[in-house]
Amino acid sequence: MPSLYAEADVVKSRTVTSVAPVAIARPIGPGSLLWRYAGDHRLAFSGLSAGLLQLMHPAIGAGVVEHSDFFRDPWGRIIRSIPQILGVVYLPDPDVLGRRIRGYHRKITGVDATGRRYRALDPPTFWWAHATFQYAAETVADRFDHRRLSVRDREELYLDGVEWYRRYGVSMAAVPADRASFAAEWDRHVDEVLEMTPAAAKAVDMALHDRDMELKFLPAWTRALQPGVITPILRLGAFGGLPPRLRRRLDIPWGIREEADYRLLRHSVASLWRWLPAQARYGPVATAGYEARIRRDSHGHQALLSDA
């Protein structure tokens, strides 16, 4: 089975190892690849795929159904959660915020529809949720940017993501040691762990058939554009960002037309994004992080934005 990642992108000289052996803080900030991509507005094109990939994990899907209001207010849930998760990357005192997020998950335990016990803080479960965000950030670079990441870039971005995870203060036991190991473990999940859970099935059905869901987080002037323009674009990003063999295995509709539209979306965004003012490319959490760093080191901030 071919890897999710291109052969040229995998560091082939390294033996695939199981876990990161240490949990030592790694400085990340302006100039790092994680800061460049994680808080970029283009995460909207890959972040919904991350959500679906989480719901396809048996434990996470069960936890969402039994302990969350996600399906009563999906967009509200997303808008409340994402700023906190990105805050662990950008904001001052990220370890404090990370431990607070960890605390939200302590009571998420139970038994899923097939009788399997789950616990949100089990290391492999908590790691998979994070892995999907790391994948979403790399997808922004790979599919919606005019640059191309080198092998070394991918390793650096991965290690930045390990630091992101360390800030939650959870066990590092499930964390792959390097990006090659991450790619192997990702592929194992795609092939052997993920399934069409009840939560995932409901989310897929909503994405395919719910034409009237109002995106209240967008400006009022977008209301007329949402059903015919914005919602189809978000649907393309959500399904297009899934590994192709996972779409096939779980019978998620995707044909030649959808693939062509997705490629056009990727090309259009990558071509046009560089012309936006730097300040318009980033969400409020990333902007707040930049502003906090300005007060500490204005040179680092300017270096990042000038080449964003």
pLDDT score of 300 = 46
Q: What is the pLDDT of residue 71?
A: 84
Q: Is residue 196 part of a domain?
A: yes
- For residue 23, the model assigns a pLDDT of 56
308 lies in some domain: no
Distance, CA of 135 to CA of 297 (rounded, Å): 29
Task: Pick out the chain residues at pLDDT < 70.
Answer: 1-24, 211-212, 297-308
* Residue 11 in domain: no
Backbone φ and ψ for 233, nearest 5 degrees, come out as -65, -45
pLDDT of residue 47: 92
Classify residue 22: in a domain, yes or no: no
Burial 120-149 (b: 16+ CB within 10 A, else e): bbbeebbbbbbbbbbbbbbbbbbbbbeeeb
In this structure, are strands 109-111 and 117-119 parallel, antiparallel, or unpaired? antiparallel
**Residue 301 counted as domain residue:** no
Range of the domain at 135: 29-292
The predicted pLDDT at position 2 comes to 43
The CA-CA-CA angle for residues 75, 76, 81, to 5°, reads 100
For residues 282 and 286, what is the distance between their CA atoms, to the nearest angstrom? 6
Number of Cβ atoms within 10 Å of the Cβ of 104: 12
d(CA 5, CA 59): 25
- The structure's pTM equals 0.87
Total number of domains in the chain: 1
* 83 in a structural domain: yes
Looking at residue 304, its pLDDT comes to 45
